[in-house]
Amino acid sequence: MQNILIADDNKQIVNILGEYAKKEGFSVTAAYNGEDALEKSAAKSFDIILLDVMMPKIDGFAVCREIRRGSTVPIIMITARSEDFERIMGLDNGADDYIVKPFSPGEVMARIRAVLRRISKESGISSGQLTIGSLTVNLNEYITQINGIKIMLTKKETDILWTLAANKNQVFSRDKLLNSLWGYDYYGDSRTVDSHIKRLRAKLDEFSHPDWEIKTIWGVGYKFEVCHEK
């Protein structure tokens, strides 16, 4: 059974969406403010999160940004306002989709199905495990394998590999990786990212993986490039 977190300060909306989600086969967890949403997202693994923008204590944008520091869980933002800048802000903060109130519960469920299909197809992610060609990364157990051979990576190296591979062919700047994986309050610099990437590559390159590579995009950053995608 898949797990969904529905975070909205309107309990009626949470209840309605929760009932529809249960009919879709989800196990539902509810949160009624941003602080509660963060605590529950940290304590439990979710397959998708519905996140209202205007919530007490911590707004949805901040919650989304914080979750994205250590998780690639699909997030759909919900708002009562349709201004373009809010949609752009939500997507820039890491949301996968954006829904404007009022909406029909059926539309929300359709959006959930579409996001989960796309994420599964594009990144090979399923229940905390990612498989792309010869590479398998299990984020639940922090186990990385190439062609079934276990690679000894540190937690941070695994986080970097997961972040890049889960967004294959997407370029990440050094600052974006630094902010996502070390946090906005980290006082290091981009050379920290370079050092970790260098050590990560050295460990991965001990084993043949012609179907993918961590590629340097000079002057920009890094990306996980699939070389022979079927």
Q: Which fold has domain 2-123?
A: Rossmann fold (3.40.50)
Contacts of 40 (CB under 8 A, 6+ apart): 5, 29, 31
Residue 184 has pLDDT above 50, yes or no: no
**pTM for the whole structure:** 0.55
Question: pLDDT at position 147, please?
Answer: 94
Query: What class is the 126-226 domain?
Result: mainly alpha
Residue 162 has pLDDT above 60, yes or no: yes
Q: Considering the chain, what percentage of its residues have pLDDT values greater than 90?
A: 42
Report domain extents, the chain.
2-123, 126-226
Question: pLDDT at position 95, please?
Answer: 83
Encode pLDDT of 141-155 as tens digits: 899 999 999 999 998
Residue 38 has pLDDT above 70, yes or no: yes
Domains 2-123 and 126-226 agree in fold = no
Question: pLDDT at position 160, please?
Answer: 92
Average pLDDT for residues 125-133, to the nearest whole number?
76
